[in-house]
Structures are given as structure tokens and as C-alpha cells.
Chains A and B, each alone.
Chain A
Amino acid sequence: MSILIYGEKDKSFQELFTAAKILKEKVGGSIHAIVIGHNVKELAEKVAGLEVDNVYLFDNEAFKAFNPEAFLRALKSVVDETNANIVLLESNYKNKILGGMLASLLDAGLVVDTVEISFTNGKITVKRPVYAGKALSTQTIESEKAIIAIKAGVFEPTQLGEKKAKIVEKSVDLSDLKTSLVEFTPKVVVGEIRLEDAEVVVGAGRGIKKQEDLEMIREMAKILGGAWGVTRPLAADYGWAPEWIGISGISIKPKLYFAVGISGQPQHTSGIRESKVIVAINKDSDAPIFKFADYGIVGDLYQVLPELLKRLKELKGEA
């Protein structure tokens, strides 16, 4: 019996390890980690600084970019080898697919988007947002084996120590894959600061009429030392940005969030819930965003924003 953690970056391993420790206290067994990728020895060395028994390393050019079948084979081989009955991974699109396939292979219970883990009557109990993030669902895992996909940023990362764990280099037969990856185009990072890490975020919605008007949003983010982003329609429908803020895109948790010209669809508001202070600027006083805001300015953003930018510049200039 053991717990296996699978991440893509050191931070995800550190967070997953914290969750693994909570589970280990109750269910016992050992904790192992699995690293899959290309040129990821360094990552494996870092992960070996967590108090895990073994770090299983698949370092192969075939794992340079994601292929669900290939990654599943690697993951499954280590689940078998370690006799893992709990697999923890970060909840993202790729891992939902991996998790789904693995759950079905192992006949395991799978929960995704997990934001809390506890036990009730010995059963693993999780909480996860549902209904476009408008509600929180409490669920128990009834099966013997469990796969838990955890949202990034939920658990405090465990500090990395000196390398302790054994790194076990592995390979897996990747012949006869039915899916082939033809091309991978990574997403362009919009600003210098990633939305999910920013302390201040300025978000733009459909109130912004033209793509070039996003310059105001960018400038505001720059003045405040933060990141900027857009809502789903601006990214997915207009193609003004590669990613969007919202439950189906990037969930943010800044200290200060400005929602500019954003109406406040549940899809968006669920992704900003963890912000400390929310300011909304919208000309429609009935816009739902004002119910999610601490401070709201009812007014035309094309009149309000230039003034606000001027004042913020003065303010930041003074400091």
C-alpha cells in the first residue's frame, strides 16, 4: 500500500506532498513520487528533497510533450510497481484525462478539482467546486483505490530539503501507441507576471471595445506591478489573449483584483473568488459583477480609466 504523487513542476510536487502527508497519517504506507518528461533529472533531484521513499524518473524525448497514452503507460507501470492505492496529481486538463484513464484501469474512485481533503468514518472525503464554481460539493470515495486531482495552490508547499530519496530511473515500452502527437504549440505568457502568481490583477471584459484599448489595461497592470488578463469571450471568441480568467481558465487569488468592463458571468466570478479585494468598474449598475465586488464604480470605463490611471501614476510616483 502506498501513495504516489505525480506533478509537473517542483511546486506541484511540494503541494501534493503536503496532501500526501495528511492522507498518510490516516492510511499509513509509504509515499513515492513519479517524474515524467524530457531533461527532467534536475526536477527529480529536487523532488528527492521531499520525504518520499523513491522518485521514479521517466526521462525520455517521447515525454517532451503530453501524449495521454504514453504518460498513462509510465504512470500505470509505477502504480503497479509501488502497489499504490492512492494517486495524487494536480487538477488540470491533462491530468483529468490521465486520471480518468487511470481510474478506469485501476477501478478506482476519482475526484477532480479538489480543494479540501478530510476523512469521515474512515472514508476519504473531499470538497470540490461544482456548477461553474457557484457551489461546493462534499464527496466521499467509496472504492478501495483513489485518484485525487487537487487544485494548484490549495495546500501549502512543503519545503524542499537535502536530497534524501532514491531516484529510480525507469523506461516503458512506447511502441504501438495509437495516438500520435504531430505538433505542440505552447501558450504565450501574456505578461511578465503569471496571472496565478500576481498580487494585483487587472481584468478586462466585453466593455473593452477594441483590442488596442487593452493597452489601458496593460498600463494599469504595469503601474500596479501586477498582471493583466481577460474574460473568456475576449480570449476564446476574439482571440485577444491566449488564456482567460475564470473557472474554465485560470483561477486567480490576488490581493487586489480590478474587473474592468466585466459583466460578471458565473464562469468568471468563480475564478476570482479567492481575491482579497475586488473592484468592479462597469457602466451598467445592474451588472452582476457588483454583487461580487467590494467596491464598485458605476460609470463609463472610457472616462473612468484614464482618470484612474493618472491618479495611480501619481500615487506610485510619490512612493
Chain B
Amino acid sequence: MPNILVGVKYSLQVENLAIDPKTTMVSEDETPKQMGDMDKRALEEAIRIREKIGGSVTALCVGPSEATKIMMEAYAMGANEAYLLPITGNLDTDAIAKIFAEFYKKKGPFDLIILGASSTDSFTATLGARIANLLGIPVLPFVKKLELADDEVTVESDLGDGTYTFKAKLPVVVTVTLEINEPRIPTLKDILKAKRKKINEIKLEDLGLGDLASKVRVIDVKAYEEKRKQIILDATDPSKIGEVIDQLINYLKEEGVL
């Protein structure tokens, strides 16, 4: 029965970015956050495996103390244990990978580590590869279908140029995409039950990790300015369509693109 570790990130809601209109800087603090879309699917996949063949699901989040919100959600969805390693400020992927690897050693070993293929906010998509390398186990990335039989996992990975069917023996790191499943929505009963559970807090020192220096430092994040002409032509009245199309064609000729 597999012991599964799932990584979840307290991600920015990219559709609700808080942007300072003067400087166009993005304020991470003021942007609402949620569990990453793909992370939620990673958790769902782990819970489905447990429901089918047993085992246990542990969720780990490295994030600000407010991330307890998504750890409660992890409990409501069905995680057996939820851990939060609180940090202030940002750590780069290199540092997060080290935390996961040490957590694996301390609280594991785990048979499967399932992560979202990428965070919805930064879309770096390298965490799984790094953890796998630190632990000396395989990584099966961008997985849209996962099958577990005995001690072997078979996956379908979408790597851009096609679909790859990979096979590997446990333990492995699997990173999943949005296609893998449709995550459950916890019922009110699940949510109330989750409230009685305790979120485990773990510190860097508990994992024998001191200060983790970032190898990549973020200097600033500025919102793109959209500078489109936004000339809107109304063709809701079908009798206007011919006229509107003539106008459009003239514009496009002036632009030299038609």
C-alpha cells in the first residue's frame, strides 16, 4: 500500500493580480492566493490511488503561515496528514527541492511523490526533476494518465512534441497536468470534519536545514502593459455586418497585414 507525498503550493490567483498602477509592479502580498490548479489534481490523484488500493496521503506545503487555509482544504479533500513549513519571503525552486528531499528522508520514505507539473503562477516546472535528482529516483513529468500496478508505475507524459509512455519502479516522482483528473469538491461535512484536524508544522531546523540561499534572485515583477488599439466595431445587428467587414478590411490594409 503506497505511502504518497503530495506537494501543494499556495499560489497566486493570476487572474486577480494586484498591480500598482503607477509602477506596474505586481504585489504578491496583496494578490489573493489558492491551492495551485495542478497541485489540486496531484492531491486528487493521490487520494484516488489510496481509495483504490489503500495507503496514505501526506500533503506538504512550503509557504506563508496563511497557507494553513489550503492545508485545511487538503484535509477536506481527504489527505491523511497535512504539513506546513512556514517561510517568510520567497525561496527559489532549488531551496524548495532540498526541503522536499529532506522531508522525504525524515517523514518517509514515500513510494510516490506527486506534484503539480508546474505552479499556476510561476510555471517553472522544474521542482519534480530536482527532487528526483536529490533522491536519486526517476521523475515522470507532465503526466496526464497514471497507472500503478504492484511496485511499478506507467504514465502518459505530454512533453510538447508528443505523448511518451514511461514506466518506472517505485519510488518515483510524478508531476501531473490539468488533464489527469477533475478534482473533487469537498462537501460541507468534509469541511467541518477537516476543521477538527491539526495542521502539522515543521521547521527548516527539524529537517536539518539551515539558511537556504537562493541561487536565483527575483529583482522585480512588472505587469505587461497591453497597448492595443481596441477599436470596436458593432455587428450585433446582422444588417451592419457587411459594413463592419468593409471597415475591418480597410483597417487591416492600412496596417499592411492583409
- Hey, which bits of chain A sit against chain B, CB under 8 A? 65-69, 92-94, 96-101, 103-105, 107-113, 120, 125, 129-143, 178-187, 200, 236, 247-248, 255-256, 265-266, 273, 276-279, 283, 285, 290-300, 303-304, 307-308, 311-312, 315
The reply to whether the CB of B258 lies closer than 8 angstroms to some CB of chain A is: yes
Chain B residues closer than 8 Å to A140, beta-carbon distance: 216-217, 219
B165 near A183 (CB under 8 angstroms)? yes
Question: C-beta contact mask, B218-250 vs A, less than 8 Å → 1, else 0?
Answer: 111111101011111111101001101110110
The count of residues in chain B whose C-beta lies closer than 8 Å to any C-beta of chain A is: 79
* A256 (CB) vs chain B CBs: closest residue: B257
B168 near A283 (CB under 8 angstroms)? no
Alpha-carbon separation in the docked complex, A293 to B94 (Å): 39
A100 near B126 (CB under 8 angstroms)? yes
Which one, B159, B219, B224, contacts A273 given CB within 8 A?
B224
B224 near A279 (CB under 8 angstroms)? no
* A182 (CB) vs chain B CBs: closest residue: B165
A186 near B257 (CB under 8 angstroms)? no
- Asked whether A298 and B234 contact (CB < 8 A) given A130-B121, A187-B161, A307-B241, the answer is yes
Alpha-carbon separation in the docked complex, A111 to B168 (Å): 28
Chain B residues closer than 8 Å to A113, beta-carbon distance: 123-124
B219 near A109 (CB under 8 angstroms)? no
Chain A residues closer than 8 Å to B121, beta-carbon distance: 130-132
- Asked whether A104 and B130 contact (CB < 8 A) given A93-B141, A130-B122, A255-B257, the answer is yes
Which one, A92, A111, A315, contacts B216 given CB within 8 A?
A111
Additional A-B contact list (6), CB under 8 Å, known A139-B219, A265-B15: A113-B123, A135-B223, A140-B219, A179-B138, A181-B165, A186-B161
Please give the distance in Å from A79's CB to the nearest CB on chain B. 14
For the complex of A and B, 8 pairs with smallest distance between CB atoms: A100-B129, A100-B126, A299-B235, A109-B215, A186-B162, A143-B215, A104-B133, A183-B165
Chain B residues closer than 8 Å to A293, beta-carbon distance: 228-230
A110 near B93 (CB under 8 angstroms)? yes
A134 near B126 (CB under 8 angstroms)? no
The reply to whether the CB of B200 lies closer than 8 angstroms to some CB of chain A is: no
Chain A residues closer than 8 Å to B251, beta-carbon distance: 294-295
Alpha-carbon separation in the docked complex, A120 to B257 (Å): 39
A101 near B130 (CB under 8 angstroms)? yes
A110 near B252 (CB under 8 angstroms)? no
Please give the distance in Å from A292's CB to the nearest CB on chain B. 6
Alpha-carbon separation in the docked complex, A182 to B168 (Å): 10
The reply to whether the CB of B167 lies closer than 8 angstroms to some CB of chain A is: yes
A285 near B166 (CB under 8 angstroms)? no
Alpha-carbon separation in the docked complex, A144 to B134 (Å): 19
Alpha-carbon separation in the docked complex, A222 to B140 (Å): 39
Alpha-carbon separation in the docked complex, A285 to B233 (Å): 10
- Asked whether A298 and B232 contact (CB < 8 A) given A110-B94, A181-B165, the answer is yes
Chain B residues closer than 8 Å to A200, beta-carbon distance: 257
Which one, B162, B167, B168, B258, contacts A315 given CB within 8 A?
B258
B179 near A236 (CB under 8 angstroms)? yes
The reply to whether the CB of B91 lies closer than 8 angstroms to some CB of chain A is: no
B127 near A100 (CB under 8 angstroms)? yes
A138 near B179 (CB under 8 angstroms)? no
* A133 (CB) vs chain B CBs: closest residue: B224
A183 near B232 (CB under 8 angstroms)? no
Chain B residues closer than 8 Å to A97, beta-carbon distance: 125-126, 128-129, 139, 141
B233 near A68 (CB under 8 angstroms)? no
B129 near A139 (CB under 8 angstroms)? no
Alpha-carbon separation in the docked complex, A164 to B41 (Å): 50
* B122 (CB) vs chain A CBs: closest residue: A130
B232 near A290 (CB under 8 angstroms)? yes
- Asked whether A184 and B162 contact (CB < 8 A) given A134-B223, A292-B228, A299-B241, the answer is yes
Chain B residues closer than 8 Å to A236, beta-carbon distance: 178-179
Chain B residues closer than 8 Å to A178, beta-carbon distance: 137-138, 168-169
Please give the distance in Å from B12's CB to the nearest CB on chain A. 6
Alpha-carbon separation in the docked complex, A303 to B226 (Å): 29
* A125 (CB) vs chain B CBs: closest residue: B219
* A255 (CB) vs chain B CBs: closest residue: B257
Which residues 177-232 of B have a CB within 8 angstroms of A?
178-179, 213-224, 226, 228-232
